[in-house]
Structure 1
Amino acid sequence: MNFTLNNVPERTSKPRQTGFTMAMDKGLSVREVEDFIETCGDFVDIVKLGWATSFVTPTLKEKLAVYKVAGIPTYFGGTLFEAFVIRNQFDDYRKVLDKYDMSFAEVSDGSIELAHDLKCEYVRKLSEQVTVLSEVGSKDAEKIIPPYKWIQLMQAELDAGAWKVIGEARESGNVGLFRSSGEVREGLVEEILTKIPFEKIIWEAPQKAQQVFFIKLLGANVNLGNIAPNEIIPLETIRLGLRGDTFMHFLNQK
Protein backbone atom coordinates (compact mmCIF):
# COMPACT_ATOMS: atom_id res chain seq x y z
CA MET A 1 0.00 0.00 0.00
CA ASN A 2 1.14 3.55 -0.64
CA PHE A 3 0.66 4.81 2.93
CA THR A 4 -0.36 3.62 6.39
CA LEU A 5 -3.90 3.64 7.78
CA ASN A 6 -5.01 2.14 11.07
CA ASN A 7 -8.11 -0.07 11.42
CA VAL A 8 -7.96 -1.43 7.90
CA PRO A 9 -8.99 -5.08 7.48
CA GLU A 10 -6.11 -7.50 7.04
CA ARG A 11 -6.20 -9.03 3.58
CA THR A 12 -4.98 -12.51 2.83
CA SER A 13 -1.91 -12.85 0.60
CA LYS A 14 -1.55 -14.71 -2.68
CA PRO A 15 -1.86 -17.62 -3.19
CA ARG A 16 -5.17 -17.18 -1.37
CA GLN A 17 -7.79 -19.67 -0.28
CA THR A 18 -10.07 -16.89 0.96
CA GLY A 19 -10.38 -13.30 -0.15
CA PHE A 20 -10.19 -14.68 -3.67
CA THR A 21 -10.99 -12.36 -6.61
CA MET A 22 -11.90 -13.88 -9.95
CA ALA A 23 -11.78 -11.40 -12.83
CA MET A 24 -13.82 -11.75 -16.00
CA ASP A 25 -11.94 -11.27 -19.29
CA LYS A 26 -14.58 -10.78 -21.98
CA GLY A 27 -12.15 -10.28 -24.83
CA LEU A 28 -9.23 -8.13 -23.70
CA SER A 29 -6.38 -7.66 -26.16
CA VAL A 30 -2.84 -8.68 -25.27
CA ARG A 31 -1.93 -5.04 -24.69
CA GLU A 32 -4.99 -4.52 -22.49
CA VAL A 33 -4.02 -7.60 -20.45
CA GLU A 34 -0.52 -6.19 -19.95
CA ASP A 35 -2.00 -2.89 -18.70
CA PHE A 36 -4.52 -4.75 -16.55
CA ILE A 37 -1.81 -6.81 -14.86
CA GLU A 38 0.38 -3.76 -14.26
CA THR A 39 -2.46 -2.05 -12.41
CA CYS A 40 -4.42 -4.90 -10.84
CA GLY A 41 -2.21 -8.00 -10.83
CA ASP A 42 -1.68 -8.02 -7.07
CA PHE A 43 -5.44 -8.11 -6.47
CA VAL A 44 -6.42 -10.79 -9.01
CA ASP A 45 -6.20 -14.48 -8.13
CA ILE A 46 -7.59 -16.05 -11.28
CA VAL A 47 -9.04 -14.90 -14.61
CA LYS A 48 -11.98 -16.46 -16.40
CA LEU A 49 -12.12 -16.07 -20.16
CA GLY A 50 -15.85 -15.44 -20.21
CA TRP A 51 -18.28 -18.05 -21.58
CA ALA A 52 -16.82 -19.19 -24.97
CA THR A 53 -14.85 -16.06 -25.90
CA SER A 54 -11.71 -18.22 -26.09
CA PHE A 55 -13.15 -19.85 -29.23
CA VAL A 56 -12.99 -16.58 -31.20
CA THR A 57 -10.07 -14.77 -29.53
CA PRO A 58 -7.42 -14.35 -32.26
CA THR A 59 -4.44 -13.97 -29.91
CA LEU A 60 -5.44 -16.61 -27.38
CA LYS A 61 -2.03 -18.26 -26.90
CA GLU A 62 -0.28 -14.91 -26.60
CA LYS A 63 -2.80 -13.63 -24.08
CA LEU A 64 -2.63 -16.76 -21.94
CA ALA A 65 1.16 -16.48 -21.96
CA VAL A 66 1.00 -12.94 -20.55
CA TYR A 67 -1.21 -14.09 -17.69
CA LYS A 68 1.05 -17.08 -17.04
CA VAL A 69 4.23 -14.97 -16.83
CA ALA A 70 2.43 -12.76 -14.30
CA GLY A 71 1.56 -15.82 -12.19
CA ILE A 72 -2.19 -15.41 -12.69
CA PRO A 73 -3.95 -18.67 -13.61
CA THR A 74 -6.70 -18.64 -16.21
CA TYR A 75 -9.56 -20.88 -17.20
CA PHE A 76 -12.16 -21.11 -19.93
CA GLY A 77 -15.74 -20.21 -19.00
CA GLY A 78 -18.16 -23.01 -18.23
CA THR A 79 -20.19 -22.29 -21.36
CA LEU A 80 -17.28 -23.59 -23.45
CA PHE A 81 -17.32 -26.83 -21.44
CA GLU A 82 -21.07 -27.08 -22.08
CA ALA A 83 -20.59 -26.39 -25.80
CA PHE A 84 -18.24 -29.38 -26.05
CA VAL A 85 -20.39 -31.66 -23.90
CA ILE A 86 -23.64 -31.04 -25.77
CA ARG A 87 -21.81 -31.95 -29.00
CA ASN A 88 -20.45 -35.19 -27.45
CA GLN A 89 -16.91 -33.78 -27.61
CA PHE A 90 -15.82 -34.09 -23.97
CA ASP A 91 -12.59 -35.86 -24.93
CA ASP A 92 -11.85 -33.03 -27.37
CA TYR A 93 -12.40 -30.56 -24.52
CA ARG A 94 -9.81 -32.38 -22.43
CA LYS A 95 -7.37 -32.15 -25.34
CA VAL A 96 -8.01 -28.40 -25.57
CA LEU A 97 -7.11 -28.03 -21.88
CA ASP A 98 -3.84 -29.85 -22.53
CA LYS A 99 -3.12 -27.93 -25.72
CA TYR A 100 -3.35 -24.61 -23.94
CA ASP A 101 -1.66 -25.88 -20.75
CA MET A 102 -4.65 -25.01 -18.59
CA SER A 103 -4.41 -25.88 -14.89
CA PHE A 104 -8.04 -25.00 -14.08
CA ALA A 105 -11.39 -25.84 -15.68
CA GLU A 106 -14.98 -24.92 -14.96
CA VAL A 107 -17.78 -27.47 -15.00
CA SER A 108 -21.25 -25.96 -15.32
CA ASP A 109 -24.74 -26.72 -16.54
CA GLY A 110 -26.21 -23.24 -16.66
CA SER A 111 -27.20 -23.43 -20.33
CA ILE A 112 -27.83 -27.15 -20.84
CA GLU A 113 -29.83 -29.84 -19.09
CA LEU A 114 -27.34 -32.23 -17.52
CA ALA A 115 -28.15 -35.04 -15.10
CA HIS A 116 -26.41 -34.19 -11.85
CA ASP A 117 -24.77 -37.59 -11.51
CA LEU A 118 -23.24 -37.05 -14.95
CA LYS A 119 -22.10 -33.55 -14.03
CA CYS A 120 -20.36 -34.94 -10.94
CA GLU A 121 -18.73 -37.58 -13.12
CA TYR A 122 -17.33 -34.81 -15.33
CA VAL A 123 -16.01 -33.12 -12.18
CA ARG A 124 -14.34 -36.38 -11.11
CA LYS A 125 -12.75 -36.99 -14.49
CA LEU A 126 -11.47 -33.44 -14.93
CA SER A 127 -10.16 -33.26 -11.35
CA GLU A 128 -7.66 -35.96 -12.37
CA GLN A 129 -6.31 -33.54 -14.98
CA VAL A 130 -6.81 -30.00 -13.59
CA THR A 131 -8.18 -28.08 -10.61
CA VAL A 132 -11.95 -27.91 -11.04
CA LEU A 133 -14.25 -25.01 -10.32
CA SER A 134 -17.85 -26.20 -10.41
CA GLU A 135 -20.65 -23.74 -11.02
CA VAL A 136 -24.07 -24.19 -9.45
CA GLY A 137 -27.18 -22.40 -10.69
CA SER A 138 -28.99 -21.73 -13.93
CA LYS A 139 -28.62 -18.89 -16.42
CA ASP A 140 -32.39 -19.10 -16.95
CA ALA A 141 -34.01 -16.36 -14.85
CA GLU A 142 -37.25 -18.36 -14.78
CA LYS A 143 -35.61 -21.39 -13.18
CA ILE A 144 -35.69 -20.98 -9.39
CA ILE A 145 -33.71 -23.58 -7.45
CA PRO A 146 -34.79 -23.96 -3.79
CA PRO A 147 -32.10 -23.44 -1.12
CA TYR A 148 -31.96 -27.10 -0.02
CA LYS A 149 -31.23 -28.07 -3.62
CA TRP A 150 -28.40 -25.52 -3.93
CA ILE A 151 -26.85 -27.09 -0.82
CA GLN A 152 -27.23 -30.64 -2.14
CA LEU A 153 -25.73 -29.72 -5.52
CA MET A 154 -22.82 -27.79 -4.03
CA GLN A 155 -21.93 -30.51 -1.54
CA ALA A 156 -22.13 -33.27 -4.14
CA GLU A 157 -19.84 -31.34 -6.50
CA LEU A 158 -17.33 -30.68 -3.73
CA ASP A 159 -17.44 -34.37 -2.82
CA ALA A 160 -16.82 -35.22 -6.49
CA GLY A 161 -13.57 -33.26 -6.41
CA ALA A 162 -14.37 -29.62 -7.09
CA TRP A 163 -11.85 -27.28 -5.43
CA LYS A 164 -14.48 -24.57 -5.03
CA VAL A 165 -18.07 -24.13 -6.11
CA ILE A 166 -19.26 -20.99 -7.86
CA GLY A 167 -22.66 -19.41 -7.19
CA GLU A 168 -24.13 -18.52 -10.60
CA ALA A 169 -25.07 -14.93 -11.42
CA ARG A 170 -23.92 -14.47 -15.05
CA GLU A 171 -21.77 -11.49 -15.97
CA SER A 172 -24.81 -9.25 -15.49
CA GLY A 173 -25.67 -10.35 -11.93
CA ASN A 174 -29.39 -10.88 -12.45
CA VAL A 175 -29.98 -14.66 -12.23
CA GLY A 176 -29.20 -17.46 -9.82
CA LEU A 177 -28.16 -15.85 -6.53
CA PHE A 178 -29.94 -12.65 -7.53
CA ARG A 179 -33.35 -11.47 -8.61
CA SER A 180 -33.79 -9.94 -12.05
CA SER A 181 -33.29 -6.52 -10.43
CA GLY A 182 -29.86 -7.58 -9.14
CA GLU A 183 -31.14 -7.80 -5.54
CA VAL A 184 -29.48 -10.56 -3.52
CA ARG A 185 -31.61 -13.54 -2.53
CA GLU A 186 -30.50 -13.08 1.06
CA GLY A 187 -32.41 -16.04 2.47
CA LEU A 188 -30.84 -18.32 -0.12
CA VAL A 189 -27.32 -17.11 0.67
CA GLU A 190 -27.78 -17.43 4.42
CA GLU A 191 -29.22 -20.94 4.11
CA ILE A 192 -26.36 -22.09 1.87
CA LEU A 193 -23.91 -20.84 4.49
CA THR A 194 -25.47 -23.05 7.17
CA LYS A 195 -24.07 -26.11 5.35
CA ILE A 196 -21.32 -25.07 2.93
CA PRO A 197 -18.13 -23.43 4.32
CA PHE A 198 -17.78 -19.88 3.02
CA GLU A 199 -14.17 -20.47 1.96
CA LYS A 200 -15.39 -23.14 -0.47
CA ILE A 201 -17.69 -20.77 -2.35
CA ILE A 202 -16.95 -18.11 -4.95
CA TRP A 203 -19.94 -15.79 -5.19
CA GLU A 204 -20.39 -14.25 -8.62
CA ALA A 205 -21.04 -10.61 -7.80
CA PRO A 206 -20.47 -8.28 -10.77
CA GLN A 207 -22.49 -5.39 -9.34
CA LYS A 208 -21.15 -3.08 -6.64
CA ALA A 209 -24.18 -3.48 -4.36
CA GLN A 210 -23.74 -7.26 -4.52
CA GLN A 211 -20.06 -6.99 -3.60
CA VAL A 212 -20.93 -4.73 -0.67
CA PHE A 213 -23.54 -7.22 0.56
CA PHE A 214 -21.11 -10.15 0.65
CA ILE A 215 -18.27 -8.12 2.19
CA LYS A 216 -20.55 -6.84 4.97
CA LEU A 217 -21.90 -10.35 5.52
CA LEU A 218 -18.66 -12.36 5.38
CA GLY A 219 -15.84 -9.83 5.72
CA ALA A 220 -13.03 -8.46 3.61
CA ASN A 221 -11.82 -11.95 2.67
CA VAL A 222 -14.92 -13.32 1.00
CA ASN A 223 -14.40 -14.98 -2.39
CA LEU A 224 -15.93 -12.95 -5.22
CA GLY A 225 -16.12 -13.58 -8.96
CA ASN A 226 -17.16 -12.17 -12.33
CA ILE A 227 -15.45 -8.89 -11.50
CA ALA A 228 -14.84 -6.64 -14.52
CA PRO A 229 -11.20 -5.62 -15.03
CA ASN A 230 -11.97 -1.96 -14.42
CA GLU A 231 -13.74 -2.88 -11.15
CA ILE A 232 -10.84 -4.77 -9.50
CA ILE A 233 -9.30 -1.77 -7.70
CA PRO A 234 -12.72 -0.34 -6.74
CA LEU A 235 -13.56 -3.77 -5.25
CA GLU A 236 -10.32 -3.80 -3.27
CA THR A 237 -11.22 -0.45 -1.71
CA ILE A 238 -14.62 -1.85 -0.74
CA ARG A 239 -12.89 -4.83 0.87
CA LEU A 240 -10.70 -2.45 2.88
CA GLY A 241 -13.46 -0.09 4.02
CA LEU A 242 -12.09 2.73 1.88
CA ARG A 243 -15.19 3.46 -0.16
CA GLY A 244 -18.37 5.01 1.12
CA ASP A 245 -20.34 1.76 0.99
CA THR A 246 -18.16 0.07 3.65
CA PHE A 247 -16.39 3.10 5.09
CA MET A 248 -17.81 2.73 8.62
CA HIS A 249 -18.18 -1.04 8.56
CA PHE A 250 -14.58 -1.92 9.48
CA LEU A 251 -13.56 1.28 11.24
CA ASN A 252 -14.10 0.10 14.78
CA GLN A 253 -13.22 -3.56 14.25
CA LYS A 254 -10.02 -4.93 15.65
Structure 2
Amino acid sequence: MNYVLKNVPVRTEKPRTTGYTMAMDKGLSMREVEDFIDACGDYVDIVKLGWATSYVTKNLSQKLQIYKDAGIPVYFGGTLFEAFVIRDQFDDYRKVLDKYDLAYAEVSDGSITLDHDKKCEYIHTLSKDVTVLSEVGSKDAAKIIPPYKWIEQMQQELDAGAWKVIGESREAGNVGLFRDSGEVRQGLVEEILTKIPEEKILWEAPQKAQQVWFIKLLGANVNLGNIAPNEVIPLETIRLGLRGDTFDHFLDMANV
Protein backbone atom coordinates (compact mmCIF):
# COMPACT_ATOMS: atom_id res chain seq x y z
CA MET A 1 0.00 0.00 0.00
CA ASN A 2 1.11 3.57 -0.58
CA TYR A 3 0.85 4.71 3.06
CA VAL A 4 -0.10 3.45 6.51
CA LEU A 5 -3.61 3.38 7.94
CA LYS A 6 -4.56 1.82 11.25
CA ASN A 7 -7.51 -0.52 11.71
CA VAL A 8 -7.54 -1.81 8.15
CA PRO A 9 -8.44 -5.49 7.66
CA VAL A 10 -5.60 -7.86 6.88
CA ARG A 11 -6.05 -9.23 3.39
CA THR A 12 -4.88 -12.67 2.45
CA GLU A 13 -1.98 -12.66 0.00
CA LYS A 14 -1.70 -14.31 -3.40
CA PRO A 15 -1.72 -17.18 -4.04
CA ARG A 16 -4.73 -17.46 -1.75
CA THR A 17 -7.76 -19.68 -1.29
CA THR A 18 -9.85 -17.15 0.61
CA GLY A 19 -10.41 -13.51 -0.22
CA TYR A 20 -10.58 -14.51 -3.87
CA THR A 21 -11.56 -11.99 -6.52
CA MET A 22 -12.69 -13.50 -9.79
CA ALA A 23 -12.89 -10.90 -12.55
CA MET A 24 -15.01 -11.37 -15.64
CA ASP A 25 -13.49 -10.55 -19.01
CA LYS A 26 -16.35 -10.10 -21.46
CA GLY A 27 -14.21 -9.26 -24.46
CA LEU A 28 -11.24 -7.11 -23.46
CA SER A 29 -8.67 -6.48 -26.17
CA MET A 30 -5.06 -7.47 -25.61
CA ARG A 31 -4.15 -3.85 -24.88
CA GLU A 32 -7.03 -3.58 -22.44
CA VAL A 33 -5.84 -6.77 -20.72
CA GLU A 34 -2.35 -5.29 -20.38
CA ASP A 35 -3.78 -2.10 -18.87
CA PHE A 36 -6.10 -4.11 -16.63
CA ILE A 37 -3.22 -6.19 -15.27
CA ASP A 38 -1.05 -3.10 -14.79
CA ALA A 39 -3.77 -1.40 -12.74
CA CYS A 40 -5.41 -4.33 -10.96
CA GLY A 41 -3.31 -7.46 -11.31
CA ASP A 42 -2.35 -7.54 -7.62
CA TYR A 43 -6.02 -7.81 -6.67
CA VAL A 44 -7.17 -10.37 -9.24
CA ASP A 45 -6.85 -14.06 -8.44
CA ILE A 46 -8.49 -15.60 -11.48
CA VAL A 47 -10.23 -14.41 -14.65
CA LYS A 48 -13.24 -15.89 -16.37
CA LEU A 49 -13.76 -15.30 -20.05
CA GLY A 50 -17.51 -14.80 -19.76
CA TRP A 51 -19.94 -17.46 -20.99
CA ALA A 52 -18.76 -18.47 -24.52
CA THR A 53 -16.92 -15.28 -25.48
CA SER A 54 -13.76 -17.32 -26.04
CA TYR A 55 -15.41 -18.75 -29.17
CA VAL A 56 -15.40 -15.35 -30.88
CA THR A 57 -12.44 -13.66 -29.16
CA LYS A 58 -9.76 -12.39 -31.52
CA ASN A 59 -6.16 -13.44 -30.82
CA LEU A 60 -7.32 -15.79 -28.06
CA SER A 61 -4.00 -17.59 -27.58
CA GLN A 62 -2.07 -14.34 -27.34
CA LYS A 63 -4.56 -12.91 -24.90
CA LEU A 64 -4.36 -15.98 -22.67
CA GLN A 65 -0.58 -15.71 -22.72
CA ILE A 66 -0.73 -12.16 -21.36
CA TYR A 67 -2.71 -13.38 -18.38
CA LYS A 68 -0.41 -16.38 -17.97
CA ASP A 69 2.71 -14.20 -18.00
CA ALA A 70 1.13 -12.14 -15.22
CA GLY A 71 0.48 -15.27 -13.15
CA ILE A 72 -3.29 -14.93 -13.37
CA PRO A 73 -5.18 -18.16 -14.20
CA VAL A 74 -7.97 -18.01 -16.77
CA TYR A 75 -10.92 -20.27 -17.42
CA PHE A 76 -13.73 -20.33 -19.94
CA GLY A 77 -17.25 -19.62 -18.69
CA GLY A 78 -19.52 -22.53 -17.87
CA THR A 79 -21.87 -21.73 -20.73
CA LEU A 80 -19.15 -22.87 -23.13
CA PHE A 81 -18.98 -26.22 -21.31
CA GLU A 82 -22.77 -26.47 -21.65
CA ALA A 83 -22.60 -25.58 -25.35
CA PHE A 84 -20.26 -28.52 -25.95
CA VAL A 85 -22.22 -30.93 -23.75
CA ILE A 86 -25.60 -30.18 -25.33
CA ARG A 87 -24.02 -30.98 -28.71
CA ASP A 88 -22.54 -34.24 -27.42
CA GLN A 89 -19.01 -32.82 -27.77
CA PHE A 90 -17.57 -33.28 -24.30
CA ASP A 91 -14.41 -34.90 -25.66
CA ASP A 92 -13.99 -31.92 -27.99
CA TYR A 93 -14.33 -29.62 -24.98
CA ARG A 94 -11.49 -31.44 -23.25
CA LYS A 95 -9.38 -31.02 -26.38
CA VAL A 96 -10.06 -27.27 -26.28
CA LEU A 97 -8.80 -27.12 -22.69
CA ASP A 98 -5.66 -28.94 -23.79
CA LYS A 99 -5.21 -26.78 -26.88
CA TYR A 100 -5.19 -23.60 -24.83
CA ASP A 101 -3.28 -25.14 -21.91
CA LEU A 102 -5.94 -24.22 -19.38
CA ALA A 103 -5.47 -25.39 -15.81
CA TYR A 104 -9.02 -24.49 -14.71
CA ALA A 105 -12.48 -25.31 -16.03
CA GLU A 106 -16.03 -24.48 -15.03
CA VAL A 107 -18.83 -27.03 -15.00
CA SER A 108 -22.35 -25.62 -14.91
CA ASP A 109 -25.90 -26.39 -15.91
CA GLY A 110 -27.47 -22.95 -15.76
CA SER A 111 -28.70 -22.97 -19.35
CA ILE A 112 -29.31 -26.68 -19.94
CA THR A 113 -31.11 -29.45 -18.11
CA LEU A 114 -28.48 -31.89 -16.91
CA ASP A 115 -28.99 -34.84 -14.61
CA HIS A 116 -27.07 -34.01 -11.46
CA ASP A 117 -25.33 -37.36 -11.28
CA LYS A 118 -24.12 -36.79 -14.84
CA LYS A 119 -22.91 -33.31 -13.90
CA CYS A 120 -20.91 -34.83 -11.06
CA GLU A 121 -19.43 -37.36 -13.51
CA TYR A 122 -18.22 -34.48 -15.68
CA ILE A 123 -16.69 -32.81 -12.62
CA HIS A 124 -14.96 -36.03 -11.59
CA THR A 125 -13.60 -36.63 -15.09
CA LEU A 126 -12.31 -33.09 -15.57
CA SER A 127 -10.83 -32.90 -12.07
CA LYS A 128 -8.31 -35.55 -13.05
CA ASP A 129 -6.69 -33.05 -15.43
CA VAL A 130 -7.67 -29.54 -14.31
CA THR A 131 -8.93 -27.62 -11.29
CA VAL A 132 -12.72 -27.53 -11.49
CA LEU A 133 -15.04 -24.79 -10.37
CA SER A 134 -18.64 -25.96 -10.45
CA GLU A 135 -21.57 -23.59 -10.58
CA VAL A 136 -24.84 -24.17 -8.76
CA GLY A 137 -28.02 -22.30 -9.66
CA SER A 138 -30.07 -21.57 -12.74
CA LYS A 139 -29.91 -18.65 -15.15
CA ASP A 140 -33.69 -18.86 -15.40
CA ALA A 141 -35.11 -16.31 -12.96
CA ALA A 142 -38.37 -18.28 -12.80
CA LYS A 143 -36.58 -21.40 -11.56
CA ILE A 144 -36.31 -21.17 -7.78
CA ILE A 145 -34.13 -23.84 -6.21
CA PRO A 146 -34.88 -24.50 -2.51
CA PRO A 147 -31.99 -24.04 -0.05
CA TYR A 148 -31.72 -27.74 0.80
CA LYS A 149 -31.18 -28.47 -2.90
CA TRP A 150 -28.43 -25.85 -3.19
CA ILE A 151 -26.69 -27.44 -0.20
CA GLU A 152 -27.14 -30.98 -1.50
CA GLN A 153 -25.80 -30.13 -4.95
CA MET A 154 -22.88 -28.07 -3.64
CA GLN A 155 -21.76 -30.87 -1.34
CA GLN A 156 -22.09 -33.53 -4.03
CA GLU A 157 -20.09 -31.42 -6.48
CA LEU A 158 -17.34 -30.83 -3.92
CA ASP A 159 -17.31 -34.57 -3.23
CA ALA A 160 -17.03 -35.21 -6.99
CA GLY A 161 -13.83 -33.17 -7.15
CA ALA A 162 -14.77 -29.52 -7.47
CA TRP A 163 -12.21 -27.18 -5.92
CA LYS A 164 -14.81 -24.49 -5.25
CA VAL A 165 -18.52 -24.18 -5.91
CA ILE A 166 -19.88 -21.01 -7.47
CA GLY A 167 -23.16 -19.44 -6.42
CA GLU A 168 -24.90 -18.41 -9.66
CA SER A 169 -26.01 -14.83 -10.30
CA ARG A 170 -25.21 -14.21 -13.99
CA GLU A 171 -23.19 -11.17 -14.97
CA ALA A 172 -26.09 -8.89 -14.03
CA GLY A 173 -26.62 -10.25 -10.52
CA ASN A 174 -30.35 -10.83 -10.84
CA VAL A 175 -30.89 -14.61 -10.65
CA GLY A 176 -29.87 -17.52 -8.45
CA LEU A 177 -28.55 -16.02 -5.22
CA PHE A 178 -30.45 -12.83 -5.91
CA ARG A 179 -33.96 -11.70 -6.64
CA ASP A 180 -34.61 -10.02 -9.98
CA SER A 181 -34.19 -6.67 -8.17
CA GLY A 182 -30.62 -7.66 -7.24
CA GLU A 183 -31.52 -8.12 -3.57
CA VAL A 184 -29.67 -10.96 -1.85
CA ARG A 185 -31.73 -14.00 -0.95
CA GLN A 186 -30.42 -13.69 2.58
CA GLY A 187 -32.09 -16.77 4.02
CA LEU A 188 -30.69 -18.90 1.21
CA VAL A 189 -27.12 -17.70 1.76
CA GLU A 190 -27.29 -18.12 5.51
CA GLU A 191 -28.71 -21.62 5.20
CA ILE A 192 -26.01 -22.63 2.71
CA LEU A 193 -23.38 -21.46 5.18
CA THR A 194 -24.70 -23.79 7.87
CA LYS A 195 -23.47 -26.76 5.81
CA ILE A 196 -20.90 -25.62 3.24
CA PRO A 197 -17.59 -24.06 4.40
CA GLU A 198 -17.40 -20.46 3.23
CA GLU A 199 -13.87 -20.90 1.86
CA LYS A 200 -15.28 -23.47 -0.58
CA ILE A 201 -17.80 -21.02 -2.06
CA LEU A 202 -17.24 -18.32 -4.67
CA TRP A 203 -20.20 -15.94 -4.59
CA GLU A 204 -20.99 -14.23 -7.86
CA ALA A 205 -21.68 -10.63 -6.81
CA PRO A 206 -21.35 -8.16 -9.68
CA GLN A 207 -23.31 -5.35 -8.03
CA LYS A 208 -21.75 -3.09 -5.41
CA ALA A 209 -24.62 -3.56 -2.94
CA GLN A 210 -24.18 -7.34 -3.20
CA GLN A 211 -20.43 -7.08 -2.57
CA VAL A 212 -21.06 -4.89 0.47
CA TRP A 213 -23.60 -7.36 1.84
CA PHE A 214 -21.22 -10.33 1.61
CA ILE A 215 -18.28 -8.40 3.05
CA LYS A 216 -20.36 -7.27 6.01
CA LEU A 217 -21.54 -10.83 6.55
CA LEU A 218 -18.29 -12.74 6.03
CA GLY A 219 -15.51 -10.18 6.25
CA ALA A 220 -12.87 -8.71 3.98
CA ASN A 221 -11.68 -12.11 2.77
CA VAL A 222 -14.90 -13.47 1.33
CA ASN A 223 -14.60 -15.03 -2.14
CA LEU A 224 -16.37 -12.88 -4.74
CA GLY A 225 -16.79 -13.32 -8.48
CA ASN A 226 -18.16 -11.83 -11.68
CA ILE A 227 -16.40 -8.58 -10.88
CA ALA A 228 -16.10 -6.20 -13.82
CA PRO A 229 -12.50 -5.18 -14.58
CA ASN A 230 -13.21 -1.54 -13.75
CA GLU A 231 -14.74 -2.60 -10.41
CA VAL A 232 -11.77 -4.59 -9.06
CA ILE A 233 -10.07 -1.68 -7.29
CA PRO A 234 -13.39 -0.25 -6.01
CA LEU A 235 -14.12 -3.72 -4.57
CA GLU A 236 -10.75 -3.80 -2.86
CA THR A 237 -11.53 -0.52 -1.11
CA ILE A 238 -14.85 -1.96 0.06
CA ARG A 239 -13.00 -4.99 1.43
CA LEU A 240 -10.67 -2.65 3.35
CA GLY A 241 -13.35 -0.36 4.76
CA LEU A 242 -12.14 2.55 2.66
CA ARG A 243 -15.40 3.33 0.91
CA GLY A 244 -18.49 4.79 2.49
CA ASP A 245 -20.41 1.52 2.28
CA THR A 246 -18.11 -0.27 4.75
CA PHE A 247 -16.34 2.75 6.24
CA ASP A 248 -17.41 2.09 9.84
CA HIS A 249 -17.52 -1.68 9.60
CA PHE A 250 -13.85 -2.38 10.27
CA LEU A 251 -12.92 0.53 12.55
CA ASP A 252 -13.54 -1.78 15.48
CA MET A 253 -10.96 -4.43 14.67
CA ALA A 254 -13.00 -6.99 16.57
CA ASN A 255 -15.14 -7.11 13.45
CA VAL A 256 -12.26 -8.02 11.15
Bucket of the pairwise TM-score, normalised by the shorter protein: over 0.9
> After the TM superposition, which segments of 4 or more aligned residues of structure 1 sit over 3 Å from their partners?
none
Alignment match, 1:158: 158
- Deviation, structure 1 residue 230: 0.1
Amino acid at match of 1:128: K
User: Residue 116 of structure 1: CA displacement?
Assistant: 0.1
Counterpart of 1:78 in structure 2 is 78
CA RMSD in angstroms comes to 0.4
Partner of 2:193: 193
Q: Deviation per CA, 1:97-133, whole angstroms, max 9, x where unpaired?
A: 0000000000000000000000000000000010000
Kindly, what percent of the aligned residue pairs are identical?
81
Q: Matched residue of 1:40: which SS? A: helix
**Residue 144 of structure 1 aligns with which residue?**
144
TM-score normalized with structure 1 length: 1.00
Shift in Å at residue 252 of structure 1? Answer: 1.1
Measure the CA separation in 2 of the matches of 1:137 and 1:149. 10
Report Cα offsets for 1:37-87 as digits up to 9, x if no partner: 000000000000000000000110010000000000000000000000000
The aligned amino acid for 2:103 is: S
2:59 matches 1:59 = yes
Unaligned runs of 5+ in 1: none
- Taking structure 2 as the reference length, the TM-score comes to 0.99
Q: How does 1:58-207 map to 2 (within 5 A)?
A: 58-207=58-207
SS state at 1:67 partner: helix
Residue aligning to 2:40: 40
The alpha carbon displacement at 1:253 in A equals: 1.4
Three-state SS of the structure 1 residue aligned to 2:7 is coil
The residue aligned with 2:217 is: 217
